[in-house]
Chains A and B, each alone.
Chain A
Amino acid sequence: MNVTIVTHRDGDENEVAFNYQKREENERPMVLDVLLQAQLDSIPDLAFRYGCRARNCGVCTVDINGKPRIACRARAREGDRISAVATLPIAGDLVARRDGIARQLQGKLAGLPRHNDLNVEAPDDYHALTACIECYACLDNCPMHARNFDGTTPAQISDKASLPDPANGYRWGNPFSLLKIQRYRLDPLTTDQGQKAGIELANSLGLDACTSCPGCKCGVGIDLKRKVIKPLLQDSGLESPAKN
């Protein structure tokens, strides 16, 4: 099986052809299997992230033919082009810098009063959002996240020095950040004050971008549009409940 792997070394991009050798006659390898074999047989220092091989840890996301996929559970196909996710700056080969995403939330909802009874159950939607594995596939086509990169992606910006430094956390939000905010709001321990702070944070991250967006896609099937975006838009007054 022939694939193309896009490498990034010290600022240089290269397309490397790799021919995957099936280990069993009827093997249908995952993209991660292809990368592991490429590292062993062809590109010894190929850089890529992976962790659990079972779609739980969320770190192995790469672009396959330009779309984000979780490498350990995406079947490889003849002619696939495997590259780092386009929505984040590249650190090396298939490794994207992820740190600017979560860091934008650092300490943002800390210090608010909370209810103190731990023996309360959370609503089903709280658990539905907890299913997020942080694969960051949802950044694809997100107009809010694109605001960090002049409405496009880091890959499209040729002057890499002009990219925002992820170490400071991104200025504009994304479906993952909104999910974390909405999850916090659904937590039975969150007070009215926390509810309000959550909405304010979502607004400051650019929630208005969602009003004109057809909706985001989750890597593990969480209904982001209905369970995250819609309630935040409603509670922020950006969209009247009647409209839905």
Chain B
Amino acid sequence: MSIDTEWLDYDVLVVGSGGAGSHAARAASEAGAKVLVLSKDPIGCSDTKISEGIATVRQCSADDDSEQTLSENLRMAGADLPLSKITDAFATDSIDAYDQYRINGLRPPIDAERQTPQALPLPMGGHNRRRSVGHANSGIAFGHASCDAVIANGGIDYLEDNWFIDLVKAPADDNHPAGEVIGGISYDAARGCLVAIRAPSVIIAAGGLSTLYFPKTDTMRGNTGDSYAIAARAGAELVDMEQVQFLPFCLTSPPSYEGLLCGEPVTASFLGVLRDNNGKVILDGVYLRTRAECSAAIMRAVEDGRGSPNGGAWLDMTANKTPPRSGPYFMKFLQTALPSAYRNARQAMGKAAARCDDAWEVRPGAHYHMGGIRVDENGAGVAGSGDGETKSGVSGLYAAGQAMGGLFGANRLGSTSLTEVAVFGSRAGIAAARHAQSTSVSDHLKDLFDSAIHNTGTHFGKPGKTSAAKLRQELQQASWRTIGPLRSADKLAEFAADIERWQTELNDVPIPAYGSWNQSFIDFQELRNMLDTASAVCAAALQRDCSVGGHVRLDGKDVSLFSTPYSTVVHRTAHGAFDSRRTLRTRTPIKRALTYKVQEKHARLKASLLRLMPATLQDKHLEKRYRAIMGASGATAMMPGGTEAATADAGNV
């Protein structure tokens, strides 16, 4: 081993530089901590930057949008899996946290009368109030804010092109039963060295796991499950890992566009339906359905051998465009409601599809991970029964953004993730800075770093015959089949066995000895994280033997309204496998849950009646409804640059 090591000392180390990492770094720095940000991609180049740029801001349209209203909205949408103290934190902080973006240069349209950011005209993706704010340039505007928070404002040290490898922990003692974080080891690819960082607080904000499903995903390549794998290897618990959010309408071809978003349930509008390859309707009232329902309908048809040529189904919107009066409104709506998705559809499927003369071939794609590192409302790692306790968790470990679990449970409301990263990034930053002020990393723990550095260094100059790229592709294809939108106990068990085999094969990936931008070493580390994360998702998916939210078990029932909700908790054992268990959650009072259900049924019924109306009457009625959404001008100001417009989810409310 010849690779050099650079030693650094910080109060707070932040892994990741997207929305969560940048807010965490700024908050910790403002709280007086000496902060280092490590990022494998260029600063700010994260899912936040490529998002649709719509954020949840409580009370931006109505004064009665109380903290309780929003908090309960999150919990009920998440099938009671979210923890109330975490949803409360989101609701309490959402206004101030959003303002942090504005301090860093985000400039939304303003509601002059209310003197607040301007809410979009309809409640989005499952919200019970209008509280979603759209932005010019979508997520790119948020990317600038992330970058400016870390770079332009100064006072924060950062290193990009850095692959964080593992946390370093002091052994457990009476005060720290799960051990104590004392820093970590990173590979600086650009400078060709290892970096050993001594820090009493580490915030994991390294994003999600969607790359497990590549190319069936619309997210950043860097989502290789780093957050979960790093935390799990350090002994942290993970919660609701089976809850992967799939967007139902992603492109299937041509290959360059595979996985990119082309629409949301709302895109199907009043008369759009999903058809199987035989032309049979497999889902109607699509615009009122949740993302999970649409995804499940498509995948069940595929499973049944009735899928489209590229393993999806057909989104048929012809009925919307044919009527003489309402048809032109629909086309305008389609083109402007979700402009980037429509652009993807036109480029990928051509003119006939863009005119809706042809049905669109669609397939679900991985978008977001709702599970994650088990934390409290300040992002501090917790463990134990019930909601978990910080004193049982890994001391000094924090998580924010997609890395953390417990906020969304089984389903995420539209436009919430950009607010999530601001709320919990800031909270974790402050908590981590406080922890660092009361703790220090003692010099005699250097041995622990030395062994981590040695172990990492031994990989350089390692012979082998396995291609990391091929192994990764094998894992990605299998992930789609097993821990994808449809799951079953048999397939999950097979997958678990495959993971063990791949973990052995991973050690046969050759890694040259040179230090500077050693791509083989990078691939090795990312694949190692993907395998650990896949293993965690698999264990959780086996534990949850019924269907709820993003988790659909072909061999299990849908969860009953009357059953007691539970979250899954997994942790990595000494042998590298994941153990799983359940922890009970509090059920929403039956009366409220029933009201929710009745309203949902009512909306569906109205939609069915609409489809049965005589053509002329239907056309007139629809024209009126489009005009109400779009205004007399015919131009929808509905979702500028947005694709979070799952008003179908709003049908639940």
Contact = CB atoms under 8 A, between A and B. Distances in A.
Interface of A: 9-10, 23-24, 27-30, 32-33, 39-40, 44-47, 49-54, 56-59, 72, 91-93, 95, 97-99, 102-103, 105-111, 118-122, 126-127, 130-134, 166-167, 180, 183-184, 187-188
Contacts of A52: 50, 218-221
A85 to B, nearest CB: 13
Interface of B: 41-43, 45, 49-50, 99, 102-103, 105, 107, 109-110, 115-117, 136-141, 143-144, 147, 151-155, 160-161, 189-191, 215, 218-222, 253-257, 259-260, 340, 344, 467-470, 473, 512, 514, 516-520, 522-523
Choose among B219, B340, B516 the residue with the greatest number of A CB atoms under 10 Å from its CB: B516
Given A39-B469, A130-B141, A29 B255 contact: yes
Given A99-B190, A127-B137, A106 B152 contact: yes
A178 to B, nearest CB: 14
Contacts of B467: 40, 44
Given A40-B469, A59-B45, A119-B115, A130 B517 contact: no
Contacts of B152: 105-110, 180, 184
Contacts of A108: 152, 154
Contacts of A23: 255
Given A27-B254, A56-B140, A47 B42 contact: no
Given A54-B344, A134-B45, A40 B473 contact: yes
Given A53-B259, A110-B155, 10 more contacts: A24-B253, A45-B468, A45-B519, A56-B139, A57-B41, A57-B50, A93-B519, A102-B42, A107-B155, A118-B102
Given A10-B512, A27-B255, A50-B221, A126 B473 contact: no
Nearest to A53: B260
Given A44-B468, A180-B152, A30 B256 contact: yes
Given A47-B517, A59-B41, A127-B136, A105 B151 contact: yes
B514 A118 contact: no
User: What are the 10 A-B residue pairs with the smallest beta carbon separation, nearest first?
Assistant: A107-B154, A92-B517, A122-B107, A47-B519, A10-B514, A110-B154, A127-B136, A44-B467, A52-B50, A56-B50
B103 A58 contact: no
Contacts of A10: 512, 514, 516
Nearest to A118: B102
Nearest to B467: A44
Contacts of A188: 107
Contacts of B140: 56, 130-133
B210 to A, nearest CB: 11
27 contacts: A23-B255, A29-B255, A32-B256, A40-B467, A44-B520, A46-B519, A49-B41, A53-B259, A56-B50, A56-B140, A57-B50, A57-B220, A59-B42, A91-B517, A92-B517, A93-B517, A102-B42, A107-B151, A107-B152, A107-B154, A110-B153, A118-B103, A119-B117, A133-B140, A134-B143, A180-B152, A183-B144
A228 B396 CA distance: 45
Contact of A99 (B116, B160, B259): B160
A17 to B, nearest CB: 19
Contacts of A102: 42-43, 147, 151
The A interface is mostly helix, strand or loop, or mixed, namely loop
A11 to B, nearest CB: 8
A91 B107 contact: no
A132 B144 CA distance: 9
B196 to A, nearest CB: 18
Contacts of B137: 127, 130-131
A23 B254 CA distance: 9
A26 B116 CA distance: 50
A56 B517 CA distance: 24
A91 B255 contact: no
Nearest to A38: B469
B254 A51 contact: no
A95 B141 contact: no
Contact of B144 (A105, A119, A130): A130
B256 A92 contact: no
Contacts of B110: 119-121
A44 B222 CA distance: 18
Contacts of A33: 255-256
A83 B645 CA distance: 40
A54 B41 contact: no
Nearest to A190: B105
A44 B509 CA distance: 10
Contacts of B517: 47, 91-93, 95
Contacts of A130: 136-137, 140-141, 144
Contacts of B520: 44-45
B57 to A, nearest CB: 12
A181 B597 CA distance: 52
A27 B253 CA distance: 10
Contact of A126 (B99, B107, B218): B107
Contacts of A184: 105, 152
A120 B139 CA distance: 20
Given A91-B190, A106-B154, A54 B260 contact: yes
Contacts of A30: 256
Contacts of B107: 120-122, 126-127, 187-188
A103 B50 contact: no
Contacts of A53: 215, 256-257, 259-260
A29 B107 CA distance: 37
Contacts of A45: 468-469, 512, 519-520, 523
